[in-house]
Amino acid sequence: MRVLQLVSSSGFYGTERMICLLSAALQRSEAEVYIGVFNGSSSSCSRFVQEAERQNLQVLDLACKGRWDLRTIVRLARWLRKNDIEVLHTHGYKANIYGLVAARLAGCALVATCHNWTNRTASLRQYAALDQFLLRHFDRVVAVSQGVLSNLRRAGVPGRRIRQIPNGIEVAAYKTAAQNSDKPRHIILGCLSRLSKEKGVDVLVWALPKLLATYPELQCVVAGEGPERERLLALAAELCVSHALHLPGFCDDTARFLSHCTLVIQPSRIEAMPLAVLEAMASEKPIIASAVGEIPRLLEGGKAGLLVPPGNPDMLAAAILKLLSSQEQQQALAARAAEKATACFDVSVMLAGYLSTYKEAMAKRHLLMRVSPSGKAGAYYERGTDRNIA
């Protein structure tokens, strides 16, 4: 099986980490995998490209001028044909739009994974609406959470083409790191997050004064990068908590980072299926997270981690103080979370789901080729027969 993963990247965040993990697993299963990145030579893509190459994944750098470049679509379609790609797997609205046209020209199967739509601005809401409309014409569409699946159905994507596959992680790596780590001397609140508004890191900063009043040596470390960095530092200075807030930037070894945390906090305003929560679960760490997206399901309604309303610093601080006061509750929540991570979210589970989905998409595309009058790639797109094939 020959697969191209296609994405427009602005850094090495949850989507990019998932792509690398899935691609490496596919390669181990004897698939031939490429990762296509728009303007992959740009500085914003460097960490993603480096990580892909570190895992011996082949990277295709797609030069693209502006938001829409028809020549890039043509070059992509030619590359797909030349390399006999059987499945084009897209991530994000730009990859979906370019991929839809290129895959139909090249005649390969087309699968999209929908991670989430943030809808932060009017333009992003417009792109999300366009994306949801175009996804109706994909062979298979993967939702990473129940919430995304519901959005796809509301957008008119045929239910028979939607598959729900949760993100996965290398559970064993996180367990090993946790077992080999020493217990931290001071309380460390850990957070793996992009520094952007929807991730709610500011909510955690607002909670720090109350926490420091009870635990003056407490430290909060947020590993990640993003546009809110300066605003978060300014807020910490305003609240007189700069000494307790650390923003070290990107984290290359999330398993090692989590192994040093006392509690893991995920204060997001918007989420789908956050890898950071899965990683904390596998690390057997007590978790406090916003009750948004798939997080309540991940944490079993509070049985595998505490849930708080998004955007509420007071309730977040209260939950942290409550959990810090009870070692017994910390251990119970962490053990349940680790058990669930092993059973449901190991990379092997994700791999099996995607291999099955790829095969379904390929079978659908081959059947359409047989019923096409010309039998040529692209000739079948949008013909009436497509509506009758799952």
Ranges in the chain, pLDDT < 50:
374-389
Q: Are 132 and 159 within one domain?
A: yes
Nearest to 137 by CA among 183, 81, 97: 97
What is the rounded (10 degree) CA torsion for 286, 289, 354, 385?
A: 160
Supply the pTM of this predicted model.
Answer: 0.81
Residues 187 and 228 in one domain: yes
Looking at the fold, whether 120 and 144 belong to one and the same domain comes out as yes
How many CA atoms within 13 Å lie on the side-chain side of 172?
Answer: 2
Summarised one tens digit per residue, pLDDT across range 42-96 is 998 999 999 999 999 999 999 998 778 899 999 999 999 999 999 999 999 999 9
CATH of the domain at 119: 3.40.50.2000
Task: Name the domain count of the chain.
Answer: 2
* Statement to judge: residues 282 and 360 lie in one domain: no
Question: Residue 354's CB: how many other CB atoms inside 10 A?
Answer: 24
Are residues 120 and 208 both part of a single domain?
A: no
Q: Starting at the edge strand that comes first in sequence, how are the strands of the sheet with 2-7 ordered?
A: 58-62, 32-38, 2-7, 87-91, 109-114, 140-143, 162-164
Taking alpha carbons only, the member of 74, 130, 129 closest to residue 104 is 74
- List, in sequence order, the alpha helices (H) in 239-374: 254-259, 275-282, 295-298, 313-324, 327-344, 347-371
Are 359 and 326 found together in one domain?
no
Closest CA to 170 of 17, 46, 297, 49: 17
State whether 153 and 187 are in the same domain: no
pLDDT at 367: 60
Task: Give the domain-ending residue among 344, 361, 378.
Answer: 344
Pairing mode, strands 32-38 and 2-7: parallel
- With a CB cutoff of 8 Å and minimum separation 6, the contacts of 54 are none
**Identity of the amino acid at 346:** D
Q: Do 318 and 233 belong to one domain? A: yes
User: Do 134 and 269 lie in a common domain?
Assistant: no
pLDDT digits (tens, 9 = 90+) for 163-209: 999 999 999 999 999 998 887 789 999 999 999 999 999 999 999 99
pLDDT of res. 129: 84
- Numbers of helices and strands, H then E, in the chain: 15, 13
| Count, residues in the chain | 390
Per-residue pLDDT at 13: 86
Counting Cβ atoms within 10 Å, is residue 213 exposed (0-12), middle (13-18) or buried (19+)?
exposed
Q: Which pLDDT belongs to residue 388?
A: 37
Range of the domain at 72: 2-168+347-388
Q: Do 366 and 340 share a domain, yes or no?
A: no
Same domain, 326 and 185: yes
Q: Do 345 and 276 form a contact (C-beta atoms < 8 A)?
A: no
Burial of 92-105, coded b for 16+ CB within 10 Å and e otherwise, reads bbbbbbbbbbbbbb
In terms of domains, do 38 and 154 share one?
yes
pLDDT computed for residue 118 by the predictor: 66
